[in-house]
Amino acid sequence: MDQVCPPSTVYAAYNHWAGEKDIKIYTYNGHEGGQSFHDLEKLKFLKNIW
């Protein structure tokens, strides 16, 4: 659980957003996020928009 940005605040913002959205959950990470797993997600995102 991220002690800096608790999931409850992230989920609140995510649920409030009315546009297209996608969320990735890295269960075993804290504030560092998904690290290399998230790097792969960023590359997939860039591949899909180009």
The pTM of the full predicted model, rounded to 2 decimals, is 0.61
CA atoms within 13 A on the CB side of 27: 0
Does residue 34 contact residue 41 with C-beta atoms inside 8 Å? Answer: yes
- 3-class DSSP assignment, residue 37: helix
* Distance (Å, whole) CA 19 – CA 17: 6
**What is the DSSP secondary structure assignment for residue 4, as one 8-state letter?**
S
Q: What does the pLDDT read at residue 15?
A: 95
If you average pLDDT over residues 6-24, what whole number do you get? 90
How confident is the model over 32-41, as pLDDT tens digits?
Answer: 878 888 899 8
